[in-house]
Amino acid sequence: MATDIDRLKIIIEAENKATAALDAVKTAVLGLAGAYVSFQALQAAFLAGPNTLSEATRLASEQEQADVRLSAALDNLGGKYGDSLERLKSFASQMQRTTNFSDDEVQSAQALLISLGKLSGDGLDRATRASADLAAGLGIDLAGAANLMAKAAAGSTAALARYGIILKEGLSDQEKFAELLKQIEQRFGGQAAVAAQTYAGRLAEVKTQWDE
């Protein structure tokens, strides 16, 4: 018959094995996901089950990819516009709190606007907000809206016509983009924030916060 000491030894041995297994998983996942999953979050996910751990790893990977895309877009500009990754990530986090879009989605939109549209600073922030409002107003995803905005910033506005956005003829590329921003702000301004206040928007916001 097992004594109390024997039972204690079994418990200690089980805890040691569990700790070793968790450390192995932590090392493997953090090696892939960098610093995007804290050990506490990983431990909670491990204890909750493999499906939760897999989801945590996926979300960490998405965040890492968004950071890499945004950083690469800034690097390709050679730092000439003075924007920093931290500032843009902070802006993306602010948008996540007021819209249905995750910070990953916002960062991907920023990367498009930087790479294709060569936007920065206040102009980038304004275009990012306009992309979110356009996406909400047209019922398209943020990446699609940002792509339209980025192309327009680079001088290509033909694709906007299918959505009923017609720009004046004879304008320079810079004037066309200024006119586009004006039209979007007049027609769709604030729609991303309004959408976040609907029932569906609240559910989307809860999902976004849960994913974080």
pLDDT value for 187: 93
Instruction: Please state the rounded mean pLDDT for residues 128-142.
Output: 95
Query: In this structure, what token pair is assigned to residue 91?
Result: 């802006």
Closest CA to 116 of 84, 82, 151: 151
Q: Which pTM value belongs to this model? A: 0.66
pLDDT value for 35: 46
Instruction: Please state the rounded mean pLDDT for residues 33-55.
Output: 55
pLDDT exceeds 80 at position 24: no
Please say whether the beta carbons of 115 and 81 come within 8 A.
no
> Which amino acid does the sequence have at 1?
M
Token match 């499906």: residue?
51
Half-sphere exposure of 19 (CA within 13 A, CB side): 6
Instruction: Please state the rounded mean pLDDT for residues 179-196.
Output: 90
Mean pLDDT across the chain: 77
* pLDDT tens for each residue of 74-117: 888 776 556 788 999 999 999 999 999 999 999 999 999 999 99
Please say whether the beta carbons of 117 and 154 come within 8 A.
yes
pLDDT exceeds 80 at position 138: yes
Token match 């006119």: residue?
179
**Helices (H), ranges, 34-84:** 39-48, 50-76
Report the percentage of the chain scoring pLDDT > 90. Answer: 36
pLDDT exceeds 50 at position 32: no
Mean pLDDT is highest, among 18-22, 35-39, 42-46, 167-171, for 167-171
* pLDDT tens for each residue of 120-129: 899 999 999 9
